[in-house]
Amino acid sequence: MNRLFFLNHTAIKQAHFSKNSSDFVVNEIPLYEFSGKGEHLVLHIRKKDLTTWQMLRVFSDISGAKMRDFGYAGLKDKDGMTTQYVSIHKNYAKAFENFSHANIKILSAVYHDNKIKTGHLKGNRFFIRLKKVLPPDALKLSQVCLKIAKEGYPNYFGYQRFGKDGDNFEFGKAILSGKKRERNPKLREFLISAYQSELFNRWLAERIRISKFFEDFSQLELQNALKWDKETVKEVIKQPQFFKLLVGDVCCHYPHGKAFLCEDLDAESARIADKNIIITGFLAGERAMRAQGLAGEIESEVFAEAASFLDKMNGSRRYAWNFAEDFEYKYKEEEAWFEMSFSLTKGAYATVVLEEILHRSLDE
C-alpha cells in the first residue's frame, strides 16, 4: 500500500495496539433521529468479534427474515467492540423481544418510517487504547494528537481495504483489463473498489510529497524540482495549510456539499483554513468529476494506467484531507495506557489516523 505520512516525527514503536473489544471501540453516529413511529423497527446493536454480515446471519436465523431484508448504514469490522443501527420490518419485531447472544446485545429499539440504507450515517466515534506506553512516548503522543486535532490528516484508505496479503487491487485490475474473470458480483465489485482505492492512495501520496516540498525548499528550488513556473510557485507557497491547493483541484464543501473546481487559490485556501471546504481525490470511473489545470495534469499522470477501463467503474470523489473531530486523549501512567477518542466522517479509517500518529504501519 502506498503511503507517505504528513508529519515528520520518528516512529513510536513501543506503544502496543490490539484490535480487541476492550481497546478498540467503534460507535456509529446516525445521520438522523429516528421518528419513533413507522413500519420499520430500528435496533441499536452492540457486537464484538463478529462482522456485520455474521451478525445479520444470526438475526436471519432467529427471525426467519432474509439477510437482504435488514437495513444497515455501514459494515463494521469483526475485531473490537462496535455499535450500529439495524432496521427490519415490524412484522419480525417479536423475534427480537427476548433476544440473547454471547456476542450481540440489543441496546434499544425504536420504530422509524423507512428502512436504513447504506450510507445513512453521519460517521463513527472511535475509542483506541494503546498499552505499554512509557512517559516520554506519552508526551510525544500528546503532541502529535494535538497537531492532528488542529490540522487534520491525509484521508488514505486503510490496509483493511486491500486484503490480508495487500494484493486485492491487483485482482481488481486484472478483472478490469480482462485478464481475470470473477462471477460473484459482490466480490467483483469489492476487488475493483480495492483497485480504485490503491490508485487514490498513490495520488494522495504524490500530493503529500509535493506539499512536503513546500516545507523544505526555497522558491527557486521548488521551480527546479517541480518544473513549475515562477508565478504558480509563488501562489502556492503562500498558502498556510500543509496540503497545498492547486488551480483546477476539485473541492467540496465540508462536511457536506457539492463539488466544484478551484479557480481562485487565495479565496479557496482561506476557506480550507476555516474548514469550510476540502480538496478531493479521484475515485476512478467515467462519470466522476475530473480535476483540471495543474491539478488535472497530476491526476491524469497517476491514473493513466486506468484510462482504458474507466467506463467499467463507478467513479466518484473522496476527501483527500479529513479531520478527527472532538479529539480527546489522556495518559494513565500507572497502567501505562494512552487513550484517545475522536469522530470521523463515514468512509474514513481510524487505523489511518493511528498510523499517522504512530508513524508506522499497523499491518507489519
Q: Rounded to an integer, what distance in angstroms lies between the CA atom of residue 184 and that of residue 195?
A: 17
The three cell numbers of residue 11 are: 516512529
Q: Rounded to an integer, what distance in angstroms lies between the CA atom of residue 227 and that of residue 231?
A: 12
Is-contact 73 117, C-beta < 8 A?
A: yes
Q: Classify each residue of 42-54 as buried b or exposed e, where b means 16 or more C-beta atoms within 10 Å of its C-beta.
A: bbbbbbbebebee
Is-contact 82 46, C-beta < 8 A?
A: yes
- Tell me the residue type at 317: R
Is-catalytic flag, 23? Answer: no
Residue 49 Cα to chain centre, angstroms: 21
In terms of DSSP bridges, do strands 250-253 and 277-283 run parallel, antiparallel, or are they unpaired? antiparallel
Which residue out of 61, 77, 79, 363 is catalytically annotated?
77
Find the distance separating the first CA and the last CA of the chain, reported in whole Å.
Answer: 12
Provide φ and ψ at 354, rounded to 5°: -65, -40
Q: Rounded to an integer, what distance in angstroms lies between the CA atom of residue 314 and that of residue 326?
A: 33
Question: How many other CB atoms are found less than 10 A from the CB of residue 63?
Answer: 19
Q: Rounded to an integer, what distance in angstroms lies between the CA atom of residue 228 and that of residue 266?
A: 18
What letter does residue 312 receive in the DSSP assignment?
G
What letter does residue 346 receive in the DSSP assignment?
T
Cα dihedral sign, 16-19-25-27? positive
As annotated, the active-site residues are 77
